[in-house]
């Protein structure tokens, strides 16, 4: 592992030298310029103070320059483009404003004020996104979700460009174009869109064993989240925190939603995309608009070189995570997303994130994927936003002073005055600050310049297996279902067989279930493993959605299907119980005008039954009169509402009259289960909502899915 060495206190920058010389007898000429008042600190375009503007970061005094020198790259990048499109990935996104508040100081580990000044409130902007689809794709595609956060700190902009999954497909950024090309529509036919169920993707994956851990995640329910509000976020990479003494600590960043985790069923996702392709966008907008903004806790996993040296895997490998049981997540603050954008294009579309945007006290490791991202993102902003001055766009502009000599270029929005546009100069303007400027973590680096993957990156199956065995049986079953579905869309049998060969190194039972689902004549031999998989890694409950269910219905949505003659007191009790959580409800009726309740009052509907399918709700109530149930029992859409809710394992509250509709929808009375609650009166409302806190009655899937029983029996066998 790299050896930490102390700060070089003997080095003196040229800027300090010439300032000293001028002060001892030279004449300092000043000129009016918006590069800053006399004495201002030189900063990057992100507002980060510069410690050294004379030397690039390199391996030793005569060694090669390093890509992570973001000040050098930004300076040259801007100069190169002084003479003066949809994202390639993460094109479909949705952004909101918020505020981060630090609750626990990390001053012991970092000089970053945003992480050391308790109760400091930092404005931020977060953009959620899918990866593979274009701007016009649907929200509920099975896909990784981007979770990128920009913190407008007092020391410059800090970006955590994360995902809702803590690992990634590849270990080295040089493979990123190949990964995305394979996942995107085939170049000859330009389909499929926003999905990976095709030959190109799985051909690449099965030839890239390092992706196997990520495959388990993307085939799990993590990639069909119920809402942005119910997703975790991860910084993915291992970063460094750097304290005042120049000492470093390793850190991984976590965003944990206060509302807990939740996903949807695959069949449900397909139908939501048809009913409301903007489901995630609408959900986030509505939550903030009605005054219930989502909150995430910001947590960190902190560890030192000793842990890194003894951990089973390489901490620089982005296809690996550190289980929370080994390094607990330390909650240090929270952020509330409560600000809707004024203009989607100006803010959500034009926001530019970059992994290299860090502040003093936050640094990088030699993770090869992170190093490549640091290089790539700046070039991406040039292509998308037209030139080097994208930080002049308000959504990207730091909220702290910016002073430098970068000039001109396409879309320059500043009007410098005076003649000076270089440094060192004797006219005046900003100067580098060795005391407050950004200092890179100093480490001893030795070795040949080579193109070679570290042998510590060679275990591709152990954590994939750990993820799988950490899931509950129903989650394991969903992974098997997803693999069968995706691979069934591959036309080439050899690609299917290669994937099953990899699965044999992860879990033999899973491989058997997938092979059976694909109709393979026999199990292929296990794929050769570069490093023998570890079979003794324990399960981690933190990796399961079901094991971390919130235990409450707060923040969810109840759909109440009503008819004329429905009980007014029951509906009043239900709506009050929902409000008390707090959660929300929508009234669905045969007519958008609503229904006349048994007390003569007219209850206005939010949705007509044709436009409010049960897939849009987390749980449903059938509040029907005998006449209403008889009418709806003849309606195909109403029967779909009920049968889908049942098939998707939702909790269903129903009045006795609604049994007719349930039966007509194909749910016989002897199939009623513990997830179905007879609402005999107002007193039952609160108890039903409490039961809904379990979110799904997954045991029902055994009865509605022919593959479930065999899979679960096999997954529990030893």
**The predicted structure's pLDDT at residue 615:** 98
Residues 591, 608: one domain?
Answer: yes
Tell me the C-alpha distance between 718 and 715, whole Å.
Answer: 8
- Whether residue 672 is contained in a domain is answered as yes
Q: For residue 81, what pLDDT is reported?
A: 65
Mean pLDDT computed over 20-41: 48
Q: Using only C-alpha atoms, what is the Rg of the chain?
A: 28
User: Does residue 124 form part of some domain?
Assistant: yes
Residue 186 within a domain: no
Give the predicted TM-score (pTM) of the model.
Answer: 0.89
DSSP summary character for residue 204: H
Find the helix packing angle between 508-518 and 493-503, rounded to 10°.
Answer: 160
Taking the C-alpha atoms of residue 129 and residue 133, their distance in angstroms, rounded to an integer, is 10
- Residue 167 Cα distances to 251, 472, 481, 543, 669, angstroms: 15, 20, 22, 12, 45
User: How high is the mean pLDDT of the chain?
Assistant: 91
Q: For residue 84, what pLDDT is reported?
A: 38
Percent of the chain with pLDDT over 70: 92
Q: How confident is the model at residue 18 (pLDDT cuts 50, 70, 90)?
A: very low
For residue 583, is it within any domain? yes
Specify whether 111 is located in the same domain as 163.
yes
Q: How many residues does the chain have?
A: 718
In a domain, 126, yes or no: yes
pLDDT at residue 2 greater than cutoff 70: no
Average pLDDT of span 710-714: 55
pLDDT digits 0-9 by tens, 108-129: 999 999 999 999 999 999 999 9
- Picking from 335, 351, 367, the residue at the C-terminal end of a domain is 367
Does an H or E element contain 709, and which?
helix 706-715
Instruction: Give the mean pLDDT of 79-102.
Output: 86
Read off the pLDDT band of 82 (50, 70, 90): low
Domain-terminating residue out of 497, 513, 546: 546
The DSSP annotation for 319-360 comes to T----TTTS--EEEEEEEEEE--S-HIIIIIT----TT---T
Same domain, 604 and 655: yes
Provide the residue range defining the domain that includes 496: 461-546
Check whether residue 515 and residue 634 sit in a common domain: no
Regarding whether 341 and 236 lie in a shared domain, the answer is yes
Q: Are residues 466 and 605 in the same domain?
A: no
For the cut 70, the answer to whether the pLDDT of residue 711 exceeds it is: no
Let me know if residue 337 belongs to a domain: yes
- Give the residue among 332, 130, 124, 351 at the shortest CA–CA distance from 231: 130
Same domain? For 498 and 587 the reply is: no
Q: Is the dihedral of CA 196, 202, 206, 208 positive or negative?
A: negative
Q: What is the pLDDT of residues 523-537, one digit of tens each?
A: 999 999 999 999 999
Give the SS3 label for residue 162: strand
Residues marked as catalytic: 90, 163
- For 263-267, 337-341, 705-709, which range has the lowest pLDDT when averaged over its residues? 705-709
100 strand-pairing partners? 122, 335
Which pLDDT does position 17 carry in this prediction?
Answer: 39
In DSSP notation, 38-70 reads TTPBPB-TTSPBBS-SS---BSSTTS-B-TT-H
Same domain, 564 and 690: yes
Each residue of 590-619: pLDDT tens digit? 999 999 999 999 999 999 999 999 999 999
Residues 556 and 500 in one domain: no
Burial (Cβ within 10 Å: 0-12, 13-18, ≥19) of residue 188? exposed
**Residue 239 sits in the same domain as residue 141:** yes
Q: Residue by residue, what is the 3-state secondary structure of 415-436? A: CCCCCCCCCCCCCCCCECCCCC
pLDDT tens-digit readout, 441-463: 999 988 888 888 999 999 999 99
CB 652 within 8 A of CB 633: no
> What total number of domains does the chain contain?
3
- Tell me, letter by letter, the H, E, C secondary structure of 278-327: CHHHHHHHHHHHCCCCCEEEEEEEEECHHHHHHCCCCCCCCCCCCCCCCC
- Report pLDDT for 37: 64
Among residues 113, 599, 152, which one has the least CA distance to residue 353?
152
pLDDT-based confidence at residue 6 (cuts at 50, 70, 90): very low
Same domain, 540 and 562: no
Residue 23 reports pLDDT greater than 80:
no
Are residues 512 and 568 part of one domain? no
The answer to the question of residue 36 being in a domain is no
Question: In the beta sheet, which residues pair with residue 654?
Answer: 622, 678
Taking residue 145's Cβ as centre, other Cβ atoms within 10 Å add up to 25
Tell me what the mean pLDDT of segment 261-283 comes to: 97
End-to-end distance of the chain based on CA atoms, in angstroms?
40
pLDDT at site 13: 42
Q: Of 308, 343, 367, which residue sits at a domain end?
A: 367
Angle between helices 70-80 and 368-385 (to 10 degrees): 30
State residue 444 phi and psi, 5-degree precision: -85, 125
**Domain-located, residue 641:** yes
Residue 598's CATH number: 3.40.50.880
pLDDT at 438 over 60: yes
| E strands present in 517-641 | 557-562, 584-589, 595-596, 602-603, 607-608, 619-623
- Top-confidence residue, 603 or 82: 603
Q: Contact 43/403 with Cβ under 8 angstroms?
A: yes
The CATH number of residue 511's host domain is: 1.20.1370.20
- Spatial CA neighbour of 176 closest among 198, 204, 217: 204
Residues 312-354 pLDDT 10s: 999 999 999 999 999 999 999 999 999 999 999 999 999 999 9
Q: Which residue has the higher pLDDT, 385 or 264?
A: 264
Number of Cβ within a 10 Å radius of residue 560: 25
When mean pLDDT is compared across 64-73, 131-140, 208-217, the lowest value belongs to: 64-73
């Amino acid at each position: 592992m790299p050896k930490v060495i102390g700060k070089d206190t003997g080095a003196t920058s040229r800027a300090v030298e010439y300032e000293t010389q001028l002060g001892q007898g030279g004449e300092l000429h000043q000129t009016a310029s918006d590069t800053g008042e006399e004495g201002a600190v030189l900063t990057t375009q992100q507002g980060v103070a510069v410690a050294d503007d004379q030397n690039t970061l390199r391996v030793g005094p005569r060694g090669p320059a390093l890509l992570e020198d973001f000040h050098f790259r930004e300076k040259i990048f801007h100069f190169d483009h002084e003479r003066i499109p949809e994202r390639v990935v993460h094109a479909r996104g949705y952004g909101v404003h918020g505020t981060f508040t630090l609750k626990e100081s990390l001053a012991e580990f970092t000089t970053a004020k945003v992480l050391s000044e308790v109760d400091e409130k930092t404005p931020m902007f977060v953009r959620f996104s899918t990866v593979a689809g274009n701007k016009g794709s649907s929200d509920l595609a099975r896909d990784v979700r981007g979770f990128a956060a920009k913190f407008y700190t007092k020391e410059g902009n800090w970006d955590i460009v994360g995902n809702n999954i803590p690992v990634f497909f590849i270990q080295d950024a040089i493979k990123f174009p190949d990964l995305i090309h394979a996942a995107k529509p085939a170049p000859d036919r330009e389909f499929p869109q926003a999905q990976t169920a095709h030959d190109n993707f799985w051909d690449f994956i099965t030839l890239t064993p390092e992706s196997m851990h990520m495959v388990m995640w993307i085939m799990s329910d993590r990639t069909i989240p119920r809402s942005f509000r119910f997703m975790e976020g991860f910084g993915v990479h291992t970063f460094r925190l750097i304290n005042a003494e120049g000492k470093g600590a390793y850190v991984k960043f976590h965003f944990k939603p206060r509302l807990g985790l939740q996903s949807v069923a695959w069949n449900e996702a397909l139908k939501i995309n048809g009913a409301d392709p903007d489901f995630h966008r609408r959900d986030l907008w509505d939550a903030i608009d009605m005054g219930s903004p989502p909150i995430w806790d910001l947590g960190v996993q902190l560890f030192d070189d000793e842990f890194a040296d003894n951990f089973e895997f390489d901490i620089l490998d982005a296809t690996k995570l550190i289980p929370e049981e080994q390094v607990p997540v330390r909650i240090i603050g929270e952020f509330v997303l409560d600000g809707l954008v004024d203009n989607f294009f100006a803010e959500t579309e034009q926001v530019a994130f970059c992994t290299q945007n860090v502040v003093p006290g936050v640094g990088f490791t030699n993770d090869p994927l992170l190093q490549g991202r640091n290089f790539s993102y700046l070039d991406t902003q040039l292509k998308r936003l037209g030139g080097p001055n994208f930080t002049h766009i308000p959504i990207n502009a730091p909220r702290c002073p910016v002073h430098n000599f970068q000039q001109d270029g396409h879309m320059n929005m500043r009007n410098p005055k005076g003649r000076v546009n270089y440094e060192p100069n004797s006219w005046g303007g900003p100067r580098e600050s060795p005391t407050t400027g950004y200092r890179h973590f100093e480490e001893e680096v030795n070795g040949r310049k080579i193109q070679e993957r570290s042998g510590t990156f060679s275990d591709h199956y152990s954590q994939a297996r750990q993820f799988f065995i950490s899931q509950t049986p129903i989650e394991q079953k969903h992974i098997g279902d997803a693999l069968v579905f995706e691979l069934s869309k591959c036309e080439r049998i050899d690609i299917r067989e290669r994937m099953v060969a990899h699965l044999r190194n992860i879990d033999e039972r899973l491989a058997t279930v997938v092979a059976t689902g694909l109709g393979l004549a026999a199990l292929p031999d296990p794929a050769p493993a570069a490093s023998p998989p570890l079979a003794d890694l324990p399960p981690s409950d933190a990796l399961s959605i079901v094991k971390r269910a919130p235990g409450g219905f707060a923040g969810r949505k109840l759909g109440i299907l009503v008819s004329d003659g429905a009980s007014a007191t029951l509906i009043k009790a239900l709506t009050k119980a929902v409000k008390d959580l707090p959660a929300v409800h929508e009234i669905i009726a045969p007519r958008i005008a609503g229904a006349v309740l048994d007390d003569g009052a007219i209850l206005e509907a939010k949705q007509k039954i044709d436009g409010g399918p049960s897939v849009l709700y987390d749980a449903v109530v059938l509040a029907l009169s005998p006449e209403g149930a008889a009418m709806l029992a003849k309606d195909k859409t109403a029967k779909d509402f009920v049968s889908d809710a049942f098939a998707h394992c939702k909790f269903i509250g129903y009045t006795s009259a609604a049994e007719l509709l349930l039966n007509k929808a194909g749910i016989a009375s002897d199939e009623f289960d513990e997830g179905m609650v007879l609402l005999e009166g107002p007193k039952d409302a609160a108890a039903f909502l409490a039961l809904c806190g379990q979110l799904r009655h997954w045991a029902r899937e055994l009865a509605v899915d022919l593959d479930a029983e065999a899979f679960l029996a096999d997954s529990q066998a030893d």
